[in-house]
Amino acid sequence: MAKKLIATGYGDPSDVLEVTDVDIPKPGKGEVVVEVRAAGLNPYDVKLVRGFLGAKPENLPLSPGAEAAGVVHAAGPGSEFKAGDEVVVYPASATLAEYVVSGEDRVHRKPAGLGFAEAASLLLAGVTAVDTLATLGVTGDDVVLVHGGAGAVGSIVVTEALAAGATVIATAAPRNHDHLRAQGAIPVPYGDGLTDAVREARGDQRITAVIDTVGTDEAIDVSLELVAPHRIVSIAAWGRVDDGIVVIDGSSEQSRHHRSAAVEPLLTDAASGRITVEIARRFGFTDAGAAFDELLGAHPRGKFVFEPR
């Protein structure tokens, strides 16, 4: 038997998360069973459990966790993987568990130089970040405003926009400003006076693109004062689609293509250190509720990672 984290209802994670015993899955043809060493926690998981993405009773119990890294336990007949291979599983589901079963097409070899925790926390945020930049076609000529530049997605947006040669102005809490400055971005605090702060930061330059990872009305209203709606890409402002901004979630053909093409380069770049994955907090089965509770509020920079052992 093996342990798995489930949510028996929708609501406060501390109330609804439970550890259950399940059989160790067996791989069918085209499948791989992975012993999970680490699984990245994402805001998506918390929104799922809280019922923010819908609360249909027929979908219970929920099995959160959308990415993982670990070691192949068993592979289906004819697989290119074998027991002992170190891999990353993404996109995935039910990864907050000791074992996860996945279609082989979602299993990627983990570079040796990349830790399990970092590998498990890279891809969901990473492919999203790459998709935002590719959707806008950001180049070295751009002056990009990034809302949430110190978040998981925002950090990779900032890294990649700077690597493309763009000028980057990024909003963040003041405690993250030194970090953004060290990367080469110009930090500005969000909150009252944001438009003026961005205008001061950009100097004589014009903002040419906005990437919003936050989704607040403030972020979108300020952005619309600075650029045309079609130059604003958001991953969170679903309520503002009618303003003409571009909101993406990986469901369009273009986004799917951007995201799948980004997986291998992200793994290589994280292994080489060109992209950094910071780990803020490690948690296991017993303290998962607290980690879920913390992630949607103000939290330290870096990823929250589940380690089953």
Nearest to residue 46, comparing CAs of 304, 292, 303, 300?
292
d(CA 196, CA 13): 39
Q: How far is the CB of 175 from ligand NAP (least distance, A)?
A: 7
Q: Which is nearer to ligand NAP, 17 or 235 (CB)?
A: 235
Closer to ligand NAP by Cβ: residue 1 or 298: 298
Is 146 a binding residue for ligand NAP by CB under 6 A? The answer is: no
Dihedral pair phi/psi, residue 34, rounded to 5°: -115, 130
Taking CB under 6 A as the rule, does residue 123 contact ligand NAP? no
Interaction between residue 223 and ligand NAP (CB under 6 A): no
Decide: is 132 part of the binding site for ligand NAP (CB under 6 A).
no
* Calpha distance 4→126 (Å, rounded): 26
Size of the site for ligand NAP (CB under 6 A): 29
Strand 86-89 and strand 107-109: pairing?
antiparallel
**Do 219 and 188 meet the contact criterion of CB atoms below 8 Å apart?**
no
CA distances from 109 to 36, 37, 42, 47, 104 (A): 14, 14, 22, 29, 11
Contact 157, 142 (CB under 8 A): no
Smallest gap from residue 25 Cβ to ligand NAP (A): 26
CB 238 → ligand NAP: shortest distance, Å? 8
User: Within positions 285 to 304, which residues make up the interface with ligand NAP, using CB under 6 A?
Assistant: 298
Using CB under 6 A, which residues numbered 249 to 278 contact ligand NAP?
249-250
Q: Which residues bind ligand NAP (CB under 6 A)?
A: 42-44, 124-125, 128, 147-148, 150-154, 171-173, 176, 190, 213-216, 219, 235-236, 248-250, 298
